[in-house]
Amino acid sequence: MNRLDGKVAIVTGGAQGQGEAISRQFVAEGARVVIADIAKEAGQALADDLGATAHFADHDVSDSASWARVVEDANERFGAVNVLANNAGILRFGDIERQPAEEVELIWRINQLGCFLGMQAVTRTMRKNGGGSIINASSVEGLAGMAGCTAYAATKWAIRGMTKCAAMELGPKGIRVNSIHPGMIDTPMTRVHGGDAAMEFGASRVPLRRVGHPADIAPLYVFLASNESSYINGAEISIDGGVTATHAFGG
């Protein structure tokens, strides 16, 4: 407990799935948290449940003006932001021959552009106030390929690369930037692509013979947000039950 005392965090996509687990764990460990999401009802309900140290912000990660508002509000409400969990993202499968350009662009805007804009938005605050930690959600598809996943994987490889560049650029300013690479996690985002059958298939491909859950992911965010990870910068950490110990998940 209290591993995040004094931390002010923004969690994007914070209303559901992995984001909800991260938000809950951050508050439990003493952080003040802005739950930033487009899911208004779920986000507000979560903030109400978590109490005075949580606040919901209606936020579009692909909009730089929205980022400016969220960071300014967080600074005024809770104090200087020193943790960003760039967790928001969408998953769309599609064959190269058939996936519409509009869908490819949507994936890029939310996953990759949203991550970049988040880093950009918090850097000034963190630099002026002694540093901070940025945690970017990539994927095992940011480490290896998977058929039917080209557009999504492109954004996750980009996040991996942006993280390393940002770690070099921002490290001297006291800002650590790391990426995490979850495998198949049982969330509403993944369940929409096949439900229980998809989860069962996924489990059959994982060395631990189970898919992950949001509760498996949140502790890694806590660690990277805390001072315990003060010498970890530019790292890529897989949390996938062992999938990337060998070849691609969809191999």
* Catalytic center residues: 152
Q: How far apart are CA 223 and CA 237, in angstroms?
A: 12
Q: How far apart are CA 120 and CA 166, in angstroms?
A: 10
145 dihedral zone (left: phi>0; alpha: psi -120 to 50; beta): beta
If one counts every other C-beta atom within 10 angstroms of the C-beta of residue 78, the result is 19
Handedness of CA 115, 149, 37, 59 (dihedral sign): positive
With both helix axes pointing from N to C terminus, report the angle between 17-28 and 40-50 in degrees, rounded to the nearest 10: 20
Asked whether the beta carbons of 13 and 87 are under 8 A apart, the reply is: yes
Residue position matching structure tokens 């969330």 = 187
Strands (E), the chain: 8-12, 32-37, 54-58, 83-86, 132-137, 175-182, 236-239
